[in-house]
Amino acid sequence: MGILDWFKNRPAQFDADRVSEELIRSAVDKAITLTNPRLAVLPGCHRRLAPAAEKAIEFLRALVSEMPASRPLSAANWSADPALRAFFVAPADIAAVLARSDNLRTLFDKYIDLDEACVVLGMSFTEQRVFGMALQGDLVQRDVAQTSVSFSDHRAHICGRDESRLRRAVGAQAFEYLLAQALAEIGEERVERQELEANRSLLRARLRLLRQQGPGLGSLYGNSPPAASSEQARLEAELLDNEKQLAAIGGNESVLEMELDSLREVLENPQRYLRAETRHLRLTPMNIVVDGESSEAVVDLDVHLAELSGAAPVRRAVVVARVGREQMAQAPTMNLADAARYL
């Protein structure tokens, strides 16, 4: 069972108003299970992780509460909603995004009496400097430096029957993301140890072979080739350095302690991996940022940005949307006849 299912099956676990002892205990259990179940054998493992888990949950609770209020998302609202016109080029783009959301479709199929659901619409947010035309008084100026924003790669994966369930699902996935970062850092430490152990085995084998063969044909004449002696000395030095590095990492219990420390470090510092901010933008119909006065029609838009700064940093614009069942078109299907022509 994934952590998302774990939170969804126990809705009270991610309570937006309080952090219960049960939630902390369950969060620690799940953190141990998803990173390394053997951590549980360490003395006081749960007690040592509990404060870090509580801090992570408090951070995520604040993060979720700062998400914007839900707004209707439909192709019919595109012309009347300036935000939707900024996010989507045309009404058909909204229908296409919803049609691709298998999770939203599954939710409506599961709850046949559900008329409306909530979904998180995530979009890539790009800012770039461009040169365009601008109206200064009665004159049109060309090659004016401007800032253009664009929204692309629209996805609607996280959904819920209502807004409160949706926010709990977001909190659950954010917690899962933190555990994934901890697991990635632990994995790097494991790889380093495995490489050192493999290198040690190789060095020992080469050194043993060199000692068994002796200095070679030079021994028949009573002298030892300098190259063989220097090679042996080099291997012995590398082996000694390898042993020191492995000793610094420690034995199995020390490795577990390091993994526990890595997990605790991530949970104690969730702000290193997750950040959110709201940007206020004044945009023209062409999504050009306006700083001062403008003779064009300007829309004031608050854009909520979420940044994931893990191994692969990502910045996405986030919208909490309400979608009616009638907005769900048939899922796109493959035209087998057309596909066969390319075989």
Considering only CA atoms, which of 319, 301, 315 is closest in space to residue 126?
Answer: 315
> CB 86: neighbour CB atoms within 10 A?
21
CA distance 169 to 5: 9
Question: pLDDT of 149-160, one tens digit each?
Answer: 999 999 999 999
Question: pLDDT of 164-200, one tens digit each?
Answer: 999 999 999 999 999 999 988 887 665 555 554 555 5
Asked if residue 87 lies in contact with residue 151, where contact means CB atoms within 8 angstroms, the answer is yes
Structure tokens at 339: 């596909």
CA distance 212 to 170: 63
pLDDT at 284 over 80: yes
CA distance 66 to 61: 9
Structure tokens at 191: 């790889």
pLDDT at res. 269 = 96
CA distance 271 to 73: 30
Question: pLDDT of 96-108, one tens digit each?
Answer: 999 999 999 999 9
pLDDT, mean of residues 290-301: 79
Asked if residue 7 lies in contact with residue 172, where contact means CB atoms within 8 angstroms, the answer is yes
Segments of the chain assigned E as strands: 71-72, 116-136, 139-155, 159-160, 274-283, 299-308, 314-324
CA distance 161 to 159: 7
Asked if residue 263 lies in contact with residue 182, where contact means CB atoms within 8 angstroms, the answer is yes
Question: pLDDT of 222-251, one tens digit each?
Answer: 444 555 567 666 656 665 665 555 555 555
Question: pLDDT of 44-77, one tens digit each?
Answer: 999 999 999 999 999 999 999 999 999 999 999 9
Question: Which residues are within 8 A (CB) of 233 and not within 5 positions of it... i.e. 6 or more apart?
Answer: none
Share of the chain above pLDDT 90, in %: 51
